[in-house]
Amino acid sequence: CRAWPTLCTATDAGVLKKDFDKSVAVHKVGHALHVLDPVFKAFSNSAKYNAVTSALGYKNPVLPQSMYIFKQPRIGDSAVIHQDSTFLHTIPKCTCLGLWLALEDSTMENGCLWARPGSHKRGVRKLFVRNPDYFEKGDKKAPGIMFENLDVPQDETDGLVVTTAEQGKELGFEPLPVKQGDLVLIHGEVDHFSLKNTSNASRHSYQLHLVEGPSEGVSWSKRNWLQYSDGKSFPPLAPETA
């Protein structure tokens, strides 16, 4: 796991600026809390998560990624318009599901989620992959990871930083404010984003991403940016030993 600073609190070199305290500088911690931390591991493998995913038809889901997002008061970073399956891709079909748990009230003021209704029906448009020039050909001057457009109609709003609620609505998105303890399920191909937190309240959330497991004929793409070291497999959701 590693921690990412809120953008405005650090220099380009990743050094904390003197004007900011460490306690409010952290934006995100990830991506293996569900593997490395006993508390998060137990929580991530809860029977409630298993019941929800089973009801949605998942047979053998595995957990490639987990994140704790702090969304700090007044400075919490926005999330650009994106599809989760861009970053967590499976073949022969996309099976990514986001489990977004509100640890505090998520409001219009502190940067709640926004989603574009019906966008999940359009399919994934691009992938975030390992660059073969870097990983296979050994060109260390090449970027290690990159976006690759698929041969489908693209959307000019991909990667866009939305700055106002009015702009989000004009682009066809709707806000999803939720209360503390609510769980938002995010289809891997739905367009979503969040605005910057300019309020005095933080917006903590815990996010798990799962995909269907290999026993169901689904494979994790070997081109995905995220790969466990030494060929390790992703842990299953609610394993028998948990």
pLDDT, tens digit, 9 for 90 and up, residues 148-183: 999 999 999 999 999 999 999 999 999 999 999 999
Give me the mean pLDDT over the 40-52 stretch: 94
User: Around 238, how many Cα atoms within 13 Å sit in the side-chain half-sphere?
Assistant: 13
Task: Name the helix (H) or strand (E) containing 167.
Answer: helix 165-170
Q: Is the pLDDT of residue 210 over 70?
A: yes
Q: What pLDDT, on the 0 to 100 scale, is given for residue 27?
A: 86
Q: Is 204 helix (H, G, I), strand (E, B) or coil?
A: coil
Q: What pLDDT, on the 0 to 100 scale, is given for residue 25?
A: 79
Q: Is the pLDDT of residue 10 over 70?
A: no
Q: What pLDDT, on the 0 to 100 scale, is given for residue 3?
A: 66
Q: Is the pLDDT of residue 2 over 70?
A: no
Q: Is the pLDDT of residue 236 over 60?
A: yes
Give me the mean pLDDT over the 44-71 stretch: 95
Give me the mean pLDDT over the 211-228 stretch: 95
Q: What pLDDT, on the 0 to 100 scale, is given for residue 241?
A: 47
Q: What pLDDT, on the 0 to 100 scale, is given for residue 153?
A: 95
Give me the mean pLDDT over the 64-93 stretch: 95
User: Around 149, how many Cα atoms within 13 Å sit in the side-chain half-sphere?
Assistant: 8
- DSSP type of residue 235: P
- Mean pLDDT of all residues belonging to the chain: 92
Q: How confident is the model at residue 13 (pLDDT cuts 50, 70, 90)?
A: low
- 121: which residues sit within 8 A by CB, 6+ positions away? 189
Residue range 135-149, pLDDT digits in tens: 999 999 999 999 999
Q: Is the pLDDT of residue 239 over 60?
A: no
Q: 210 - beta bridge partners?
A: 97
- Which residue has 């704790």 as its token pair? 68
Question: How many Cβ atoms are within 10 Å of 60's Cβ, its own excluded?
Answer: 12
How much of the chain is helix, strand and coil, in % rounded to 5?
20, 30, 50
Q: What pLDDT, on the 0 to 100 scale, is given for residue 5?
A: 62
Q: What pLDDT, on the 0 to 100 scale, is given for residue 7?
A: 60
Q: What pLDDT, on the 0 to 100 scale, is given for residue 242?
A: 38
